[in-house]
């Protein structure tokens, strides 16, 4: 069977990691990459600091896609639907399947109902699938919660908490989380919307609620700065002691004033430097209760990279349209030839 032809769109921290994982996998051929920061056509191997591979990297999406004609594109350039919709228009017009790690795309129907409808229609017209995935939203605080509820007869309240290390992510995420700011600047950023915190609660909560059939009246969110008492440093950011190392972002879906779904997601760079234990915690309260712990947490960077790559055969097999992780068969790691998993 012919290999699956993949284009990587966006070569930031996540995009680079995806390319490296794709290189390691059988049945997949990375045929090109799109990166707006390259000024002229270059080689992907050279771009990554290695030997030449004969794989073009271009800043012109239209030209690159026409040149290499991929089956599927992984889009890793932005967190919000508005930041990827133009790209999805181009990809679907060219009948290319889309996996994106834009967090809002994991379940875009509530925050962007009109764009969601447009994307769904474009995808159906083109006969391709558009899927948003990632470690979270897309996995730990939604898909995994759903899967854990299989053995439950009655769900009263879902409580989940993800304490993770934000270090693998790049500048986009650091800015969204207010990393490196003073407490005042953080609070100001929350006010004016420049500090967003986790992009995902307004995706994970509706996805869980719709799948399980829970209803709620409102979602109440809070964003608190996580201050550091020590210097914390990552590849992309330096946080001095006394500054903001991350954002403790929580969201509660309330029905008649009582919590139905509570998600907590304190995210920060280098929690280990203050001996903060990371982990994923899911509690389903009902009949019966289920209480799950993953320690340490499913790592954010690798988890997002792996999720985006591992879903590829499922996306190629799926019906056309704008789908979510809840629409796909159980997604998992793949160690053999990816084309073995095509139907």
Which positions touch a second copy (CB under 8 A)?
A: 21, 24, 135, 139-140, 143-144, 146-155, 211-215, 284, 286-288, 290-295, 298-299, 302-307, 309-311, 325-337, 340-341
Nearest distance, CB of residue 306 and a second copy, angstroms: 5
**DSSP-assigned states of every residue in 221-278:** EEEEEEE-SS-EE-SS-EE-TTSEEEEEEEEEEEETTEEEEEEEEEEES-GGGGTPPP
Residue 129 or residue 304: which is nearer to a second copy going by CB? Answer: 304
Residue 19: which residues within 8 A CB-CB, separation 6 or more? 8, 11, 30, 33, 44, 48
Q: Which is nearer to a second copy, 83 or 299 (CB)?
A: 299
β-sheet bridge partners, residue 160:
263, 282
The least distance separating a second copy from the CB of residue 227, rounded to whole angstroms, comes to: 28
Least Å distance, CB 340 to a second copy, is 6
Pairing of strands 238-239, 42-43: unpaired
Q: Per the structure block, which two tokens stand in for 90?
A: 């181009």
Residue 11 burial (C-beta neighbours within 10 Å; 0-12, 13-18, 19+) = buried
Query: Which of 177/310 has CB closer to a second copy?
Result: 310
CA–CA distance, 23 with 29 (Å, rounded to integer): 7
**C-beta of 268 vs 304, nearer to a second copy:** 304
From the CB of 77, what's the least distance to a second copy, in Å? 21
B/e letters for 38-77, b = 16+ CB within 10 Å, e = fewer, are: beeebbbbebbeeeebebbbbeebeebbeebebbbbbbbb
Shortest distance, position 289 Cβ to a second copy, whole Å: 9
Q: Which is closer to a second copy, CB of 185 or CB of 212? A: 212
Nearer Cβ to a second copy, position 144 or 181? 144
Give the shortest CB-243-to-a second copy separation in angstroms.
29
């Amino acid at each position: 069977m012919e290999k699956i032809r993949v284009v990587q769109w966006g070569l930031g921290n996540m995009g680079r990691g995806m390319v490296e994982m794709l290189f390691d996998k059988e049945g997949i051929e990375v045929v090109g990459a799109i990166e707006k920061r390259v000024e002229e056509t270059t080689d992907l191997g050279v771009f990554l600091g290695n030997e030449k591979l004969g794989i073009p990297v271009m800043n012109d999406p239209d030209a690159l896609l026409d040149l290499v004609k991929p089956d599927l594109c992984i889009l890793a350039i932005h967190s919000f639907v508005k930041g990827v919709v133009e790209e999805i228009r181009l990809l679907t017009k060219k009948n290319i399947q889309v996996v994106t790690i834009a967090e809002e795309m994991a379940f875009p129907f509530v925050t962007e109902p009109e764009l969601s409808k447009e994307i769904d229609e474009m995808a159906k017209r083109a006969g391709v699938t558009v899927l948003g995935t990632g470690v979270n939203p897309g996995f730990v605080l939604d898909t995994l919660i759903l899967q854990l509820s299989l053995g439950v007869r009655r769900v009263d309240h879902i409580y989940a908490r993800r304490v993770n290390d934000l270090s693998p992510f790049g500048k986009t995420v650091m800015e969204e989380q207010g990393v490196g700011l003073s407490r005042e600047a953080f609070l100001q950023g929350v006010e004016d919307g420049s500090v967003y915190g986790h992009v995902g609660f307004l995706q994970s909560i509706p996805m869980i609620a719709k799948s399980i059939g829970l209803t709620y009246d409102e979602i109440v969110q809070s964003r608190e700065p996580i201050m550091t008492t020590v210097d914390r440093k990552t590849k992309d950011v330096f946080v001095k002691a006394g500054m903001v190392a991350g954002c403790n972002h929580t969201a509660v879906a309330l029905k008649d004033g009582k919590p139905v779904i509570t998600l907590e997601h304190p995210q920060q760079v280098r929690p280990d430097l203050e001996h903060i234990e990371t982990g994923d915690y899911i509690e389903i309260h009902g009949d019966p209760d289920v209480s799950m712990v993953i320690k340490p947490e499913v790592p954010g960077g690798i988890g997002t990279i792996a999720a985006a790559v591992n879903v590829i055969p499922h996306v190629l097999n799926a019906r056309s349209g704008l789908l979510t992780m809840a629409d796909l068969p159980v997604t998992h790691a793949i160690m053999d030839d990816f084309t073995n998993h095509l139907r």
